[in-house]
Structure formats: structure tokens, C-alpha cells
């Protein structure tokens, strides 16, 4: 992630490890759910190092013990498990059109689709009405976007590594996050064996276009864009780990990093295969015991500097300073979790003099939600192996983020079930509302050999508040839709909305005005499911999802769907309008990414990226004749419903680039949009195109980007 020249960076990293809850692990390594959850800080570096090594040794031992031939028989497991060998490896200038308008900014325009008003979320597109910034490939593209007829590329800037997302503040500071490969010590955990994250050999990642997936560190680059034609780098920060999410409230930026656990060189999770060894049970068990002892010796020999490598900071003058680890900034949880490191970094953009701080600990990444005052981290209880009797639980940690540059730990709690995404969490008047699906594993009497059993599901809404330093449950709703799971959730003031799905999509409405008694009020069933819900006014929801025929049919019976719901009467929600989008082959990033969904309240418009194709069995040219990617625009009227306005196509831009293949960081799809007054901008990895709302099929200006290369 990018560290910035703006001083006071207080990262609060929470560490969640595998030292168990109350009780002892079962024979499979499963530990009981921790109901009295808390975080405790490390003030002693020796204890921090010992905790990491104890946790690593414990999980390494559990994985190898489970590979012994007699292991499963001791627990009445299926004798058919095969341990016969090691686990498998898993340039053109802008095209301009005449005409001009005033040089002042547009009257109304859209920005990033944020969950909480005033809490800005990072994305690869940022705009302020007169400028649009886009990350594509390894470059930042800065545009003058107003007047729309004069859209032009003002400048581009190469960014080190693989750029991910960015944030723009009111003082022309663009904070860009990219992934870089610094060659940190150890072998990162990239795969799993028996539930343990284990070292895996690197692949030729660049050749496959997977970019940042092979990086080991995050770089934060702060760019001064007050002169859009001359963006200037003013600060750079390097930290171990992968970028997850970022939020900004005023001048305070919060970043969440997850760092893969790096095993010491030489640690192995299987005995080298030989036919004689794997045929002799006693020899194999002795070899596994010897490997466990050898692994533990390597683990114990590692230093804290190897487990927790430091970062570095480069200021505007090019002076580099180390960003060391402070053991007192680390927290450990008393609940079990998978190996890894999670960090919450707090940056005060206005405090340039203070040095950045860092906190990290053993933890796994999860769901992040932020209000203007609080940040919550949610992650699941870690079950090593499935057995009947298990139930999903989520661990929650709350941080107070009202102070710039700091994130102060408030308390933790445990809730049954797991959230579908960040929209399943919401804070209102100090109360956290959480929608979860509870999965329970039960025996399967008709198949006694299924030692893992089967799962049942139900869903509910739970309210929590801080009591005596803990996140305590205040109330919970009745269980919803047994056998289904939550596909989307949204909370608006004292109201809540939840969509579950199996074959029919029930929309449930909730009255949450009394946190001690959250209650379901209404229910409406419609075919398909909604994956995102957007409030429109006080009494309507505009949703994005997938239509499915009521009979649950297959190909040709599904399509993307926009729906409008009237929820003015919570007891009787109504679907007042629907609009199917595309064919069964069509898809949109807006189905799973809310930042791709763009609702322009001032004009009653919604824009979604859309990609479609028909199967082809011919040449390269045939593919492009059948491929289309465009920005589709619809008008939303509470009385008249949803109606198509048109589409801005960008498929021709990929034909022009002449690239037959695409990668994770350069894909042939429209992905984002900006709307300003009567103009619509479509954005993809290939460039930006603008058109008037009443003539979307005739673009005014197209600004292409350079084709991205590995």
C-alpha cells in the first residue's frame, strides 16, 4: 500500500491466531468456538515471536499427523482415504468532436458508489466532476473531463508494480495502492493441505497475466494532482502483505492489508514419495515424525525479523527510512484462526511530519465494514476438518477511528453464522446490525460412510453493542428461509432488507428501531435473486441480480435483472418494475461489485457495465463479431418503472489494440462509468468514451489508453 508523506500513520493490526478458546481441540485439530472473544496486545517481542512459532508449529504438526495411514481409522473415518503420495500441486490521440460548454464544473455528477455516506471507498476510478483518474495496466491516466465535448488525456504516470485501487481527497491528493514483489524471506503460503496454508512453488505468474497475485508487498504512492497535466509523486510507502480494502473519511485513510504467512525455507508438508516408503506403514509414520521434528527446528530457528519483515518509506526528497515492527502494536486473539497477518493502517493525510506506524499479527483476512466513527473486521471461526455438530461462527472486532492517524481497539464479539459481504454489516446510532447465514453440519443417516455429514442453513439478523469492553448481542430476529442462504443485504436507518435464494428469491423486510427486538415485518417472493440493493429515496430499493424461471430451469432461462421495489409499507413490499438485461450468456461486474453499479439520482438514471457474446467456432475475427461490451443506461421512474435509454459500446477499442488474449489486469470489458449532467462516460482498461444521454450510440470523444503489457 502507499505510504504517504503525510506523517502520522497509526496502523492497528490485529492478530488472530490458533491458540484455542476454552476447552481442548478434538482429535482432528478443531478447536471450540470462543464465546468470550478479546484481543490482547504484545508488549514483549520475545512473547510475540514465541506465539507465532507456537502457532506455526501447531498447524504444521496437525497437517502432517493427518497424513499418517492410521490417523483416520482412530476417529472412525472412511478407510478409503488415499495417502499414496504427495498432495497434487495445486498511442492514438483523442478523437474529438466539435462544440463546447462552460468551463465550470457540471451541476451534478456521480462518484464512487460508497456504502456509507461520507465514507469514501477505494476503486481504480476516481473523479470529481471535472477530472477523471483511471488505473489501467501499470499506469495512472489523468483526464480533463469537463466540458464533456473536450474530454482529453492530460497526463499519464507509470506506477510501480501492479496498481490496484486509489482514493482522491478534497486537497488534490491521490493515494494509489499497488502490489510489488520485494523478495521477502520465506516461502508464502499459497495452497492448503488438510486446512493448513502450506508453502507452494511459484509459477510463472507474469506469463499467465496474474500480476499482483504473485506480489509479496503493498506500495502506497501519494500523488499531488493539483495540476492535472503534471501529477507529482510526493510520497511512497512499502509494506509487506496484500491490499484488501481502503476507506477515507475527511483526511483520514484506513487501509486493510492481509499478509500471507511465509514459512521458513526447507519446511515441507509431505514426505518425498517413494513406492517402498508409502507401502510400509511403520516406515512412513517414522518419516512423517522425522519431518515434523525437522520442520519445527526450522520454525524455531527463525527470527522475528524473518516472520515480520519491516517496510520502508521514501519521502518527496527521495530519502528512504525503515518502517520497523513495534511489538506493542500487535494483538492476539483468544480464538482459533488460520495462519496469516491482518493489518489496519491509519493515515492522517494532514500530518506530514510524523513517521508512519505499523501493527501486524497472526490473523486471516475477512469482511471489512466502516462507518464514519468505527471500523469492524469480521472473520470466520476456523474449523480444520468437517464433522457433524459444527456450526458457522463469525468473530467481530471493533475499532474507534474518530481520531486521525489512529484506530483504537474497542472490543470483540462472537455471532452465529457468516456475512455475505460488507453490506451485511451496518452501524446505526452505535448499534451494529449483522445479517448472517448460519450453516450447521449434521449427520447423514442414509449414508453412514459420509463421516463429514451434510449441511443445513438458516439466516437471521443480529444486533450488537459495546458492553463492558465486549461486543455483546442485544437481540436477534427469527430464523429465515431454512435451506437457503443470504445473497444480499442492506440497512437504511432503522430498516433492514435481506434477500435469500434457493430457486425463488424472498425479499425480507425488518424493523430495527428497537435493537433488542429486531423483527421481520414482511416478505415477498419473486423468481431469481438480488445480489445488490440500492436505496432510492426513503421508500424504494433498486436492485441488481439474476432472473431465474420459477421452475429452476437451465440454459436460456436466466438473465440479468434490474428491479424496483416499493418498501413504503414494510409489511407488504412490492416489486413495481423489472427490466431484464441481455441473454443467458450476458454478465455484468455490477452483479458482484457494487462500485460498478452507478445510480445518478439527480437524473433518475442507472448505468451498469454489460458484456455479452454468442458462441463461435471460427476464426479470431468471428469472436469479435460475436463479442460486445458496453455501458447500458436505464431510466428509473418511481411511477413509470425502468426503461432502457441506450448503450455506449466499446468493443471496437479491443479490436483496434490487436491483442488476442487478456489478463487479470487488462480485460475486454466495460467496467465503470461516470455521469455528469446530460453526459455519460464509459470506462474500461482500453480507454474512456463519452456520449450524450440522448445519443449514446454516437460517442462525442474517445480517449484510448496504451495496451497493457506484463
Q: Give the tens place of pLDDT for each residue, 228-243.
A: 999 999 989 898 888 9
189 pLDDT above the threshold of 80: no
| CB contact set of 543 (below 8 Å; sequence gap of 6+) | 488, 499, 530, 532, 533, 534, 562, 563, 564, 565
571 pLDDT above the threshold of 90: yes
Average pLDDT rounded to a whole number, residues 568-588: 91
In this predicted structure, what is the pLDDT of residue 372? 94
| CB contact set of 105 (below 8 Å; sequence gap of 6+) | 128, 129, 130, 146
Q: Which of these ranges, 65-69, 99-103, 483-487, has the smallest mean pLDDT?
A: 99-103
The number of beta carbons lying within 10 Å of the beta carbon of residue 568 is 12
623 pLDDT above the threshold of 60: no
**Which has more pLDDT, 567 or 624?**
567
**Which has more pLDDT, 709 or 68?**
68
Q: What percent of the chain has pLDDT over 90?
A: 51
99 pLDDT above the threshold of 60: no
In this predicted structure, what is the pLDDT of residue 361? 59
In this predicted structure, what is the pLDDT of residue 505? 75
In this predicted structure, what is the pLDDT of residue 78? 44
In this predicted structure, what is the pLDDT of residue 231? 98
In this predicted structure, what is the pLDDT of residue 563? 97
417-584: CATH number: 2.130.10.10
**Which has more pLDDT, 363 or 694?**
694
In this predicted structure, what is the pLDDT of residue 30? 75
Beta strands at 9-15 and 330-333: parallel, antiparallel or unpaired: parallel
17 pLDDT above the threshold of 90: no
CA 481 from centre of chain: 26
Listed by start position, the domains of the chain span 1-66+162-361, 95-118+127-150+591-710, 417-584
Residue 36 is given by DSSP the state S
447 pLDDT above the threshold of 90: no
| CB contact set of 33 (below 8 Å; sequence gap of 6+) | 21, 335, 381, 391, 393, 414
In this predicted structure, what is the pLDDT of residue 16? 36
Q: Which of these ranges, 210-219, 268-277, 446-455, 582-591, has the smallest mean pLDDT?
A: 210-219
In this predicted structure, what is the pLDDT of residue 624? 57
Q: Tabulate helix, strand, coil % of the chain (nearest 5).
A: 15, 45, 45
In this predicted structure, what is the pLDDT of residue 708? 59
With bands split at pLDDT 50, 70 and 90, how would you rate the model's confidence at 709?
A: low
- CA distances to 288, 377, 401, 409, 496 from 398, in Å: 42, 7, 10, 6, 21
Beta strands at 687-692 and 679-684: parallel, antiparallel or unpaired: antiparallel
Q: What is the pLDDT of residues 110-138, one digit of tens each?
A: 999 999 999 999 999 999 999 999 999 88
Average pLDDT rounded to a whole number, residues 381-405: 87
Query: Is the separation of the CB atoms in 583 and 559 below 8 Å?
Result: yes
Q: Three-state SS for 552?
A: coil
With bands split at pLDDT 50, 70 and 90, how would you rate the model's confidence at 357?
A: low
- CA distances to 7, 185, 222, 343, 417 from 1, in Å: 15, 19, 10, 11, 31
Average pLDDT rounded to a whole number, residues 17-39: 64
14 pLDDT above the threshold of 70: no
680 pLDDT above the threshold of 90: yes
In this predicted structure, what is the pLDDT of residue 555? 46
Q: What is the pLDDT of residues 156-188, one digit of tens each?
A: 999 999 999 999 999 999 999 999 988 888 877
In this predicted structure, what is the pLDDT of residue 644? 97
Average pLDDT rounded to a whole number, residues 528-542: 95
652 pLDDT above the threshold of 90: no
In this predicted structure, what is the pLDDT of residue 621? 54
When the pLDDT of each residue in the chain is averaged and rounded to a whole number, the result is 83
Q: 203: alpha, beta or left, given left = phi > 0 and alpha = psi -120 to 50?
A: beta
With bands split at pLDDT 50, 70 and 90, how would you rate the model's confidence at 467?
A: very high
Amino acid at each position: 500500500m502507499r505510504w504517504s508523506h503525510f506523517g502520522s500513520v497509526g496502523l492497528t493490526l490485529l492478530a488472530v491466531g490458533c491458540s484455542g478458546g476454552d476447552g481442548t481441540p478434538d482429535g482432528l485439530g478443531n478447536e471450540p468456538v470462543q464465546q468470550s472473544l478479546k484481543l490482547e496486545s504484545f508488549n514483549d517481542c520475545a512473547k510475540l515471536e514465541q506465539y507465532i512459532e507456537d502457532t506455526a508449529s501447531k498447524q504444521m504438526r496437525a497437517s502432517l499427523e493427518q497424513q499418517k495411514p492410521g490417523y483416520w481409522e482412530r476417529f472412525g473415518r472412511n478407510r478409503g482415504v488415499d495417502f499414496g503420495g504427495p498432495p497434487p500441486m495445486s498511442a492514438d490521440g483523442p478523437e474529438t468532436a466539435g462544440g463546447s460548454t462552460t468551463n465550470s464544473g457540471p451541476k451534478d455528477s456521480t462518484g464512487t458508489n460508497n456504502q456509507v455516506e461520507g465514507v469514501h471507498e477505494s476503486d481504480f476510478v476516481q473523479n470529481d466532476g471535472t477530472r477523471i483518474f483511471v488505473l489501467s495496466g501499470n499506469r495512472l491516466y489523468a483526464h480533463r473531463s469537463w466540458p464533456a465535448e473536450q474530454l482529453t488525456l492530460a497526463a499519464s504516470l507509470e506506477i510501480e508494480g501492479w496498481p490496484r485501487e486509489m482514493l482522491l481527497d478534497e486537497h488534490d491528493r491521490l493515494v494509489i495502492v499497488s502490489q510489488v514483489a520485494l523478495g521477502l524471506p520465506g516461502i508464502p503460503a499459497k495452497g492448503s493441505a488438510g486446512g493448513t496454508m502450506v508453502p507452494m512453488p511459484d509459477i510463472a505468474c507474469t506469463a499467465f497475466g496474474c500480476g499482483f497475485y504473485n506480489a509479496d508487498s503493498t506500495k502506497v504512492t501519494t500523488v499531488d494532482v493539483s495540476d492535472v497535466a503534471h501529477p507529482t509523486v510526493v510520497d511512497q510507502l512499502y509494506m509487506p502483505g496484500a491490499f484488501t480494502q481502503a476507506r477515507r473519511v475527511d483526511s483520514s485513510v484506513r487501509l486493510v492489508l492481509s499478509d500471507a504467512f511465509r514459512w521458513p525455507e526447507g519446511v515441507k508438508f509431505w514426505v518425498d514419495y517413494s513406492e517402498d516408503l508409502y507401502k510400509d506403514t511403520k516406515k512412513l509414520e517414522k518419516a512423517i515424525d522425522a519431518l515434523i521434528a525437522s520442520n519445527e527446528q526450522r520454525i524455531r530457528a527463525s527470527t522475528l525479523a524473518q516472520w515480520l519483515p519491516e517496510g520502508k518509506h521514501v519521502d518527496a526528497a527521495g530519502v528512504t527510512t525503515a518502517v520497523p515492527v513495534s511489538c506493542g502494536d500487535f494483538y492476539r486473539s483468544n480464538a482459533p484462526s488460520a495462519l496469516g497477518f491482518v493489518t489496519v493502517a491509519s493515515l492522517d493525510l494532514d500530518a506530514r511530519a510524523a513517521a508512519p506506524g505499523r501493527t501486524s499479527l497472526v490473523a486471516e483476512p475477512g469482511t471489512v465494514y466502516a462507518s464514519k466513527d468505527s471500523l469492524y473486521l469480521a472473520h470466520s471461526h476456523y474449523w480444520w476438518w468437517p464433522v457433524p455438530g459444527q456450526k458457522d461462527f463469525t468473530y467481530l472486532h471493533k475499532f474507534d477511528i474518530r481520531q486521525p492517524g489512529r484506530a483504537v481497539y474497542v472490543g470483540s464479539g462472537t455471532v452465529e453464522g457468516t456475512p455475505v459481504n460488507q453490506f451485511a454489516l451496518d452501524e446505526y446510532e452505535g448499534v451494529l446490525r449483522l445479517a448472517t447465514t448460519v450453516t450447521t453440519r449434521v449427520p447423514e443417516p442414509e449414508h453412514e460412510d459420509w463421516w463429514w455429514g451434510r449441511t443445513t442453513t438458516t439466516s437471521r439478523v443480529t444486533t450488537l453493542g459495546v458492553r463492558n469492553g465486549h461486543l455483546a448481542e442485544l437481540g436477534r430476529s427469527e430464523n429465515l428461509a431454512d435451506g437457503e442462504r443470504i445473497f444480499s443485504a442492506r440497512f437504511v436507518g432503522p430498516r433492514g432488507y435481506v434477500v435469500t435464494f434457493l430457486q425463488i428469491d424472498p425479499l425480507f423486510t425488518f424493523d430495527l428501531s428497537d435493537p433488542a427486538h429486531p423483527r421481520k415485518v414482511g416478505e415477498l417472493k419473486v423468481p431469481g435473486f438480488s445480489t445488490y440493493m440500492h436505496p432510492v429515496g426513503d421508500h424504494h430499493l433498486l436492485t441488481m441480480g439474476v432472473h431465474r424461471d420459477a421452475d429452476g430451469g437451465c440454459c436460456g432461462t436466466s438473465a440479468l435483472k434490474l428491479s424496483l421495489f416499493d418498501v413504503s409499507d414494510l409489511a407488504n413490499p412490492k416489486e413495481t418494475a423489472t427490466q431484464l438485461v441481455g441473454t443467458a450468456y450476458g454478465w455484468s461486474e455490477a452483479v458482484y461489485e457494487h462500485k460498478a453499479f452507478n445510480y445518478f439520482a439527480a437524473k433518475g438514471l442507472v448505468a451498469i457495465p454489460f458484456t455479452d457474446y454468442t458462441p463461435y467456432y471460427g476464426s479470431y475475427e468471428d469472436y469479435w463479431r460475436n463479442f460486445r461490451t458496453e455501458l447500458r443506461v436505464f431510466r428509473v421512474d418511481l411511477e413509470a418503472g425502468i426503461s432502457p435509454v441506450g448503450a455506449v459500446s466499446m468493443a471496437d477499442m479491443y479490436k483496434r489494440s490487436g491483442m488476442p488474449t487478456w489478463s487479470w489486469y487488462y480485460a475486454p470489458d466495460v467496467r465503470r462509468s461516470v455521469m455528469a449532467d446530460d453526459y455519460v462516460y464509459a470506462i474500461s482498461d482500453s480507454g474512456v468514451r463519452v456520449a450524450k444521454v440522448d445519443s449514446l450510440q454516437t460517442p462525442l470523444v474517445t480517449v484510448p489508453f496504451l495496451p497493457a503489457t506484463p
